[in-house]
Amino acid sequence: MVVREIHAGLWYLVVGLYFFLFLFFLFFRWRKTRNPFQLAMSLFFLLLAVGRVFYFIADFYADPTSLYGGLPGLGITQFISNGSWFLSAGAFFEWSGLALLSATAAFMIFGNRLAEIGFAIPAFLIAVILALVPMDATTRMIVSGGAGGIYALFIPLLFWYLAWQSGGILRRSNALLGLGFMVLFAGRVVSAGRHYLASAVFGSYTIPGILAPGLIVIGLILIAVGNEWGQTQ
C-alpha cells in the first residue's frame, strides 16, 4: 500500500528530526551556554520523539487502532493486537513535553517559580488524563485536538510577547519561534483529528496523513532557524 508507506516515511522523518533537535540543543547549545532554555528545548524534543514512536506503532502496526484497517488483510504483520495503550503512552510523553515547554516560557516571561508551575499544570493534567482515563476514539480526539488547538495559540503568543518585549535580532528570533510552534502544533492538531478529517472531510487518510507530518516538519525548520537567529545576537 503505497500511500501507507509514504505516510510512514514522513513520520520517520518527523521522529528523526525530533531526535536530531534533541541532540543539537543538548550538545551544541546547552553544553556550551548552560542556558536553561536550551536544555528545556532539548528535553521537549526528546519527549516529543518518544511520544511519536508510541503513536507510530499504534497508527501503523496495531489492530484495531491502525489507520489502515485490518493489517493481516494488507499482508502486514501486526506487532500487537490492540494499540490503545500505545496511544495513551504517546499522549503522556508528548503532553509532558508541552508542560515542560510551557513552564520554561513562563519562567522566561515572569521569572518566578510560581508562574512556571502554574503554566505547566494544565498540560501535565491533560497528559495524565489521556494516559490513564479510558476513552473512545472520538472523546480522545476532542480532548487532545481541542486542548492542542488552545496550545497552538497559547505557546506562540508567549513567544510573540517575548518578541514584543525584546528588540533587534532577539525580536525576530522570538517571532519566528512563535510562528514555528504555531505551525508545529497545527500539525499536531491535524494528527489528533485524523480520524474525523479522514471520514468527514477528505474521505480517506491520504491528505491528513501527509498534512500533519508536513506541517510539523515546516514548524521544526522555523524553530531551528529562529533559535539560530537568537544565538547570533
- Identify the pLDDT of residue 87: 87
- Identify the pLDDT of residue 180: 95
Task: At 158, list the grid cell.
Answer: 508567549
Cell 518578541, residue located: 163
CA gap 172, 169 in Å, rounded: 5
The answer to whether 116 and 141 have CB atoms below 8 angstroms apart is no
Distances from the Cα of 11 to the Cα of 16, 55, 96, 193, 207, angstroms = 8, 10, 20, 16, 14
- Identify the pLDDT of residue 181: 93
pLDDT in tens, the chain (233 residues): 677 788 888 999 999 999 999 999 999 888 888 888 889 999 999 999 999 999 888 888 776 556 665 555 555 666 676 778 888 999 999 999 999 998 888 888 887 788 888 889 999 999 999 999 988 878 888 888 888 888 888 889 989 998 998 878 888 899 999 999 999 999 988 888 877 887 888 887 788 889 999 999 999 999 999 888 776 65
Cβ neighbours around 114 below 10 Å, total = 9
- Identify the pLDDT of residue 160: 92
Say how many CA atoms lie within 13 Å of 29 toward its Cβ. 23
Annotated domain spans of the chain:
2-231
Question: How big is the chain, counted in residues?
Answer: 233
The domain defined by 2-231 carries CATH number 1.20.1260.10: no
The greatest distance separating any two alpha carbons of the chain, rounded to the nearest whole angstrom, comes to: 58
Say how many CA atoms lie within 13 Å of 129 toward its Cβ. 15
Q: Is the dihedral of CA 178, 89, 103, 114 positive or negative?
A: positive
CA gap 33, 39 in Å, rounded: 10
Write the pLDDT tens digit of every residue in 72-119: 555 566 667 677 888 899 999 999 999 999 888 888 888 778 888 888
The answer to whether 148 and 108 have CB atoms below 8 angstroms apart is no
- Identify the pLDDT of residue 107: 83
Average pLDDT for the chain: 85
Closest CA to 186 of 163, 207, 156: 156
Task: At 172, list the grid cell.
Answer: 525576530
